[in-house]
Structure 1
Amino acid sequence: MPIIDLPLELLHLIGSNLDQKDTRNLISTSHRMHSVFQQKLYTNVTIRQRNVNAAQSFLYTVARNPELAGYVQSLTLADWETYDWDIHRDWNIPRDPQKTTKRPNFDGDLIRKLVDEAADYPKEDKSKWLQDLEEYYDDAWLALLIPRLTGLRKISFEWPYGSYHVDKMLEKAARNGENAVHSYQMHPFFKFPSVRKVSGWKVAEDAKEEEEEEEELEDFDRHPTEVLKGYSLLPQCSNVTDIDLSQSNAGEGMQQWIQACKALKSFRIIHGGPVFSYDDAQPRKLYNSLSLHKSTLEAIWFEYDDQGGDGENDDEWMGSFVDFYNLKFLRLSLPNLVGLNEQGSSARKICDVIPSSLETLFLDIAWGAFFDVWDDLAEIATSRKFSKIATFYIEGHNISEPEDVAKVEWLQQRCREVGVACHVKDLVRVRGHIAYLEDTRLRNSLWPRCEAEDLGYY
């Protein structure tokens, strides 16, 4: 039977396994294939600088066919092209007179109409916007596109330096209630009613400092990024349920983002260290923020990837997770989970700080800090109180002492006897390329790689 004659449910099953390229090829084969798979084609949209004309082409598509904009549920933005007005003005850098002719098919009537319809933009801003649209800077085109995606549920982003028009659009959204990027620049996305997930790479939340006296400027005298600093998120104003951040720093424990969520289900942050901002990790502040969602959180991942710095708070005890009664997945360092006493030993037993609902425990154990962790894990694996536990994933450093090697083998045997998977990875002992790939695959199976991470390279 030809594929075109297959029942609708079989076509949808086939389509669920196709990537975007194959889907585009399939819908071009017939009217029926187009009608069946069109919505899938527009569900997940990725726009990055190396995809020339992607922002422009997609804006034309949804502007001329508004129903398609409602299909978009996931938007991935990666390092889009910008024109930095401040730098070009200060350094007297001339505009490129040839840029307007490098990309054809500019629909001037449609674009001027869309800009004219944009509310609350002064004439000067609209003129600047049109000039960047005519020269095909993605920043200007995205500022027209994003507000049209009314069904958006997930945002992944890698913010470029020099963004102006997208920031201006977000400033308007905030006003109307709708090396690292500052977290406040993403506040407006939390007010988009359909957004459920926010993913970010290189996001920095600045620690609060005593405010310096400054001459106050009117909003129209300030860059939109500066204006956004003045807009705070109200508690429980957002429908976002999942936050996923890689190589990011949270100077205040991501308090504004977390408290803005009505019911947060998952939160991950991989702390990026001084490469991205000078603020240290704040385990206790993060715990206090997450505690607002004890009844809804199902997965928590807090990890360090400092790349050149040892923060003074790295070993700080976060707090007990016993009352997080829906928590199924927990990834922490051992010191953050149980705390350390004055002798540098574990201050608490693992079983006393985790909830009985836990299914997967992912532990990062620091150098020589194994203590009685193997006994604690064996107790959890065999306890009726933790009957839901299914997986241990342990990352250790130089597990080479004979007693530790013997303890690992003993723990894995005990876990096998009760049907609990127990994976132990030594981060120091290199076991070859195949073993590394297997460890990476296993780690990603526990929680997939952050969708916003290094977006410009994929």
Structure 2
Amino acid sequence: MKLVVPNDVLILIGEQVEQKADRWNLIFASHHFHDLFLPLVYRKVSIHHWQDANSFIHAILKRPALARAVHELDLTSWHARSVSDDECNQIQTSTSLRAWLEDVSCSTGESDQWAQGLGQGLADAWVALILPLLSQLRKLALAYTTNSPHLDRIMQRAVDCEKPFSAQSTFRHLRKVSLHHREYLDRSEHLDNVGGETQLSSTLLLPFFQLPSVRAITANAVVDPSSTTSSSEEPTDDKKPRFGFSSITDIDLRASSGNHGMETLVSSCADLKSFKYQHSDSHVLSNGYQPSAFYRSLTHSKKSLQILWLDHYGSHHPFTAAGLNQNHDEWFGSLADFTALQEVRVRLPNLLDIRYQNEPTTPLIECLPSSLETLYIEGCEERYLGMLVSQLQTVIKNRQARFPGLMRVDIEGAFHNVPSDDDDQVANSGSEVLEAVIKDKVYQAAEPLHIDCINAGLELHLHDRDLLHT
């Protein structure tokens, strides 16, 4: 008796096959398996260069069902690959590519310019041609360069529901977006931009905030969209922040510069739950880290924000384009009114106002929300450790009444001891010094807090970013 396994069961089994190579083996097992599992192979697509893109787009143009099978598209590993004259000619004379170019372009001139970009192997041209085809896309990871005219154009058309998006919203299922800036993805693409500033073009970032399905966005090298406007200029109506129009709930900005607290982005979110920001002074337009600006922009999310990371392992220079960098230790402000906040990761000088004294102007217990569960304090100088331990002890002693959900405290700082021969810390081999470790006196200073945490049922962790094992 022949046992017939239903297709639905076979598909469930195939979805448990994680390795792409194994999924490929499935489709070559039989004609039936080929037709059944080929869409599964296309569920997660990674494209590394123009040849991958060319093969992929021809496949999905020939079989539109495969385009509908794509849920995740990863372009973060894209690298330049040269295009021969014969290959360029094949691209530009391809009947299927030309037909699709006519569908997505608004003029013959645009179509010709786009075809020229394809023939040069430009990532911008290929990616912008692929995206409108993926109607079921859930997750997009994109490596891009500052000059991405085709992507800028296609994303704005998606927001405006213009051709080729007039019939349907291709991105109606898109939930997660990652935008990774690559300064020289292909030097031949950007010879006119050598020496220019590396930053994310807001024309590419902002459209994702206007797509109603998107919930989470990660990006790096973002310069505050309002930074290009002089502070003395009165913003026009079209440049003023719009409040609460975006469905995005999670923002993660890395190696970025938010001179105005990223207010254009943050205030657009109607229900922001997670905000993570890592500062970098490497951008030309950076005026230094200004925490109070983020306090102002995040005020709109006081009732919804659950996770706040401010300047996680950020990069601060003594001087910026504006001159001496004196603002990076400014106090953020009290978090007590952020009534939904559960996880906080912040630098000590931004958590407590200790710029000119050894004790904070406002005690820590008055700066924290009652909803807090995890507190991670970065950048604690050794001279402030005793003060911080005392402040945290007060918090823990009042935990039951004020912070019933608090379960973990982390303290990070430059706590390691630099071994030297003078300290007789020499390895058995002779001249090789022992590995650096957190100083004993740091552990001793934190011991009273450790005891209080044990008694209260809390976790306490000490970290040094130069010692990954601690």
Instruction: Kindly indicate whether residue 454 of structure 2 is the aligned counterpart of residue 416 of structure 1.
Output: yes
The answer for the alignment partner of 1:197 in structure 2 is 216
Structure 2: how far apart are the matches of 1:355 and 1:252? Answer: 24
Deviations 1:382-420 (A, max 9, x none): 511222112212111237787643231232232233332
The answer for the alignment partner of 1:147 in structure 2 is 132
Instruction: Kindly indicate whether residue 151 of structure 2 is the aligned counterpart of residue 166 of structure 1.
Output: yes
What are the equivalent positions in structure 2 for 1:378-397 lying under 5 Å apart? 378-382=393-397, 383-384=399-400, 385-397=402-414
- Amino acid corresponding to residue 267 of structure 1 in structure 2: F
Kindly state the Cα deviation for residue 268 of structure 1 after the two structures are TM-superposed: 1.0
Q: Structure 1 11/204 Cα, relative in aligned 2: closer, same or farther at 3 Å? A: same
The answer for the alignment partner of 2:172 in structure 1 is none
Kindly state the Cα deviation for residue 245 of structure 1 after the two structures are TM-superposed: 1.6
Given candidates 247, 250, 257, the residue that maps to 1:239 is 247
SS at match of 1:115: helix
Counting aligned pairs with the same residue, the percent is: 27
Instruction: Kindly indicate whether residue 260 of structure 2 is the aligned counterpart of residue 252 of structure 1.
Output: yes
The answer for the alignment partner of 1:356 in structure 2 is 370
The answer for the alignment partner of 2:55 in structure 1 is 57
Kindly state the Cα deviation for residue 272 of structure 1 after the two structures are TM-superposed: 1.6
Q: Structure 1 352/67 Cα, relative in aligned 2: closer, same or farther at 3 Å? A: farther
Is the contact between residue 50 and residue 122 of structure 2 (CA under 8 Å) also seen in structure 1? Answer: no
SS at match of 1:423: strand
Q: Structure 1 152/316 Cα, relative in aligned 2: closer, same or farther at 3 Å? A: farther
Structure 1: how far apart are the matches of 2:99 and 2:351? Answer: 56
SS at match of 2:384: coil
Q: Structure 1 289/102 Cα, relative in aligned 2: closer, same or farther at 3 Å? A: same
Structure 2: how far apart are the matches of 1:295 and 1:27? Answer: 50
Instruction: Kindly indicate whether residue 445 of structure 2 is the aligned counterpart of residue 407 of structure 1.
Output: yes
Deviations 1:317-354 (A, max 9, x none): 11222222222211111121122253253222222112
Given candidates 314, 331, 344, the residue that maps to 2:328 is 314
- Amino acid corresponding to residue 300 of structure 2 in structure 1: L
The answer for the alignment partner of 2:296 in structure 1 is 288
Tell which has more relative contact order, 1 or 2 (C-alpha 8 A, sep 6+).
Answer: 1
The answer for the alignment partner of 1:443 in structure 2 is none
Q: Which runs of 5+ in 1 are unaligned?
A: 84-95, 214-229, 431-435, 440-458
Instruction: Kindly indicate whether residue 104 of structure 2 is the aligned counterpart of residue 112 of structure 1.
Output: no
Deviations 1:92-113 (A, max 9, x none): xxxx983452797878222122
TM-score, with structure 1 as normaliser: 0.74
Is the contact between residue 295 and residue 333 of structure 2 (CA under 8 Å) also seen in structure 1? Answer: yes
Q: Structure 1 81/173 Cα, relative in aligned 2: closer, same or farther at 3 Å? A: farther
Structure 1: how far apart are the matches of 2:445 and 2:16? Answer: 45
Kindly state the Cα deviation for residue 309 of structure 1 after the two structures are TM-superposed: 3.9
The answer for the alignment partner of 1:220 in structure 2 is none
- Amino acid corresponding to residue 411 of structure 1 in structure 2: L
The answer for the alignment partner of 2:387 in structure 1 is 372
Structure 2: how far apart are the matches of 1:7 and 1:375? Answer: 64
The answer for the alignment partner of 1:262 in structure 2 is 270
Structure with max Cα Rg = 2
Given candidates 324, 337, 340, the residue that maps to 2:351 is 337
Structure 2: how far apart are the matches of 1:355 and 1:17? Answer: 44
Kindly state the Cα deviation for residue 316 of structure 1 after the two structures are TM-superposed: 1.3
Instruction: Kindly indicate whether residue 230 of structure 2 is the aligned counterpart of residue 210 of structure 1.
Output: yes
Given candidates 305, 319, 322, the residue that maps to 2:314 is 305
Structure 1: how far apart are the matches of 2:19 and 2:339? Answer: 38
Kindly state the Cα deviation for residue 232 of structure 1 after the two structures are TM-superposed: 7.7
Structure 2: how far apart are the matches of 1:347 and 1:24? Answer: 63
Q: Structure 1 187/104 Cα, relative in aligned 2: closer, same or farther at 3 Å? A: same
What are the equivalent positions in structure 2 for 1:78-157 lying under 5 Å apart? 78=76, 98-101=84-87, 108-118=94-104, 121-157=106-142
The answer for the alignment partner of 1:447 in structure 2 is none
Kindly state the Cα deviation for residue 274 of structure 1 after the two structures are TM-superposed: 2.2
Structure 1: how far apart are the matches of 2:307 and 2:352? Answer: 18
SS at match of 1:394: strand
Q: Structure 1 339/97 Cα, relative in aligned 2: closer, same or farther at 3 Å? A: closer
Kindly state the Cα deviation for residue 364 of structure 1 after the two structures are TM-superposed: 0.8
TM-score, with structure 2 as normaliser: 0.72
SS at match of 1:273: coil
Q: Structure 1 192/365 Cα, relative in aligned 2: closer, same or farther at 3 Å? A: same
Kindly state the Cα deviation for residue 260 of structure 1 after the two structures are TM-superposed: 1.8
Deviations 1:261-309 (A, max 9, x none): 2211211111121256433222111122222122222211111522644
- Amino acid corresponding to residue 408 of structure 1 in structure 2: A
Structure 2: how far apart are the matches of 1:44 and 1:381? Answer: 47
Structure 2: how far apart are the matches of 1:163 and 1:20? Answer: 30
Corresponding pairs, count: 398
- Amino acid corresponding to residue 321 of structure 1 in structure 2: L
- Amino acid corresponding to residue 189 of structure 1 in structure 2: F
Structure 1: how far apart are the matches of 2:21 and 2:298? Answer: 39
Structure 2: how far apart are the matches of 1:212 and 1:286? Answer: 20
Is the contact between residue 56 and residue 136 of structure 1 (CA under 8 Å) also seen in structure 2? Answer: no
Q: Structure 1 191/61 Cα, relative in aligned 2: closer, same or farther at 3 Å? A: farther
